[in-house]
Amino acid sequence: MPQPTIVFDLDGTLIDTAPDLVATLNVILAREGLPEVPYETARTFIGGGARLMLERGLIAGSRDPAPQLLNRLFEEFLAYYAEHIADRSRPFPGLERALDDLAMRGCRLAVCTNKLEGLSVTLLDALRLTSRFATICGQDTFGIQKPDPLVLHKTVAAAGGTMASAVMIGDSATDIRAAQAAGIPVIAVDFGYTDRHVSEFSPNRVIGHFDELVAAIEAVGALSPRNA
């Protein structure tokens, strides 16, 4: 069986980044005299990148997300977030054990996120996870982002893998649709940031803990079962 390439989303999949992202959003909104967005609402804004998160935050505060305003706040968001990127963000339970298991099974590991590449590397550096991945690709790496399937093709190629043996792991409709359009299996985690349950988007498998990941990858045919 070819060496599998396992492509992970970042926010809401690998790392619970919502505490720092939501805190940053509310700091920026407060500077504009706008009300904070409740945590459980704001966490569903995550997944399309910081600009979209800001746009949703402005709309929630009944402020027109005009391009000039959005551009200014985007720069402020990036500056503040970069200084607080790992204050409270942590890997989801069981992640490192699952990554160890996949590496021992000969898998290539990659990150494909709609977060900016530099911020993604900074976060994973802070959590000492960068070295586990063959490549870390953000929305600016190739100038395209999920759900465009081309970003998955380019990420897998950058990792040295092939689409024929690739699997996507994500937490949102964006991840699932990108994988489906690229013609690769997708495993959804149900602990991410979507406002609808991921099963509604028809992934190949849904898991509730990283302890279930390896078995799910086996189930979609990308890894031979241990006892095969």
Q: Which residues are catalytic?
A: 9
**For residue 191, what are the CA distances in angstroms to 15, 41, 143, 170, 172?**
11, 15, 28, 10, 10
Q: Is 96 exposed, middle or buried (0-12, 13-18, 19+ CB in 10 A)?
A: middle
Name the 3-class secondary structure at 137.
strand
Closest CA to 69 of 82, 54, 79, 83: 54
Residue 67: asked if its preceding bond is cis (omega within 30°), the reply is no
Tokens representing residue 215 in the block: 């078995």
Chain-centre distance for alpha carbon 149? 15
Question: First-to-last CA distance in the chain?
Answer: 12
Cα dihedral 100, 167, 17, 73, rounded to 10, equals 140
Which 3 state secondary structure label does DSSP give 112?
A: strand
Contact 146, 168 (CB under 8 A): no
The one-letter code for the residue type at 67 is: P
According to DSSP H, which parts of 43-172 are helical?
Answer: 50-60, 67-83, 95-104, 117-126, 150-158
